[in-house]
Amino acid sequence: MTDPLRLGIAGLGTVGAGVVKIVQRKANLLAMRSGRPVVITAVSARTRDKDRGVRLGEYAWEDDPVVLARRDDVDLFVELMGGSDGPAKAATEAAIAAGKDVVTANKAMLAIHGQDLAATAEAAGVALRFEAAVAGGIPVIKSLTEGLSGNEITRVMGVMNGTCNYILTRMQSAGLSYDAVFREAHELGYLEADPTLDVGGIDAGHKLALLSAIAFGTEVDFAGVQLEGIERIASADIEQAADMGFRIKLLGVAQMTGRGLEQRMSPCLVPADSPLGQLEGGTNMVVLEGDAVGQIVLRGAGAGEGPTASAVMSDVMDIARGIRVSTFGQPAGSLTRPTPAGTATPAPYYLRMALQDKPGALAKVATALGEAGVSIDRMRQYQHSHETTAPVLIVTHKTTREALDKALAGIAGTGVADGRPVAIRIEAV
């Protein structure tokens, strides 16, 4: 009989418990599909006595995940603790040094240390897999490293943080303010312990950096991701975008340009009738574009026990079958160091501002835009009840962010704008 694949699982939170459930409940299915039994031999977590809704008494327990990673009865180390450094990184390094394959859901660790860990794993002859680190249950890593490996990828984009998508779609459907929906998301447990990881775009930026490395054959460069969160999005932006046929999404975009690797995670307007525009709630969507395949759209649950545990098990099953794929789709030593694109690809922008309600204000704004080389496609002034300011909406023609920033500085210098205008890129999808 073929020897079983023996798992050591570090981290028994939502995802870890989900993996244990799949191994326990689907033992026969896993054995039939992989050709060998898949079993758990040892586990580790911060607290031993917590009720996690799964049977753990039959497994060895280690308080220290590093000790777990080195156990002789563990073939595959499954890291589900999280955190870019600390125990997760130490245990992963220990597992690789001990000749163990590693499966992780840790996007933060890989976004910061992925290149070094991949090179170390490759030198040790072990696998380092991370399907669960990006977009939950959507098999986007496998799609890029395997299904689309014959393509030159031209662009990767998507909605990769379900919490932000929930906030933005809830603001639209319920007509609620950002602050109200933020509090609601917090009460529902949707936000990270540090909410900035979600609403500031950091969590999604980690994921985009990983996808970029695979798509363009570059070393992971999270520092090169331009980050902007959703904190400044107001109900007025949601309503006025919809009035023009758009929806607002926290959108990640990566593409290789003549200027270098462009990686952005920021709020964007997308057509309301596009797949991205129709994405609701906490669902994720990743759009991949290749020279041979064209555009494909992957949609599914971006988080949660079942979807993320499913992604973990997809990597476990590949290793059980003997399938070995380089961490980022090609040998770590062949990945090139990317040159970050200094500027983003030109695009039209949506501008919302409050102008003093007096003659000549609009003319001064138009002049400031023109002097910066930014032309106006559409301009609209909405009815208002405020005595001193009037809400004005402008859509520009394609322009660079640098020209737009120059224009915004010029508008601020006119003295007719009340506060800082909101500027949101309109992305072609």
Q: Which residues are catalytic?
A: 207
Q: Are 298 and 159 in contact, with CB atoms under 8 Å apart?
A: no
Residues 6+ apart with CB under 8 A from 242: 172, 272
Q: How many CB atoms lie within 10 A of CB 260?
A: 15
Kindly give the pairing relationship between strand 294-301 and strand 226-227: unpaired
122: region left, alpha or beta (phi > 0 left; psi from -120 to 50 alpha)? alpha
Question: Between vectors from CA 22 to CA 17 and to CA 23, what angle results, nearest 5°?
Answer: 95
Cα–Cα distance measured from residue 297 to residue 75, given in angstroms and rounded to the nearest whole number: 35
Dist CA 311 CA 140 (whole Å)? 10
Amino acid at 388: T
Question: E strands of 147-245, at which residues?
Answer: 153-159, 226-227
CA distance linking residue 154 with residue 295, whole number of Å: 10
Beta carbons of 118 and 93 less than 8 angstroms apart? no
Contact 157, 427 (CB under 8 A): yes
Left (φ > 0), alpha (ψ -120 to 50) or beta: where does 141 sit? alpha
Residues 314, 354: Cα–Cα separation, whole Å: 51
Question: Is residue 230 a contact partner of residue 178, using CB atoms and an 8 Å limit?
Answer: yes
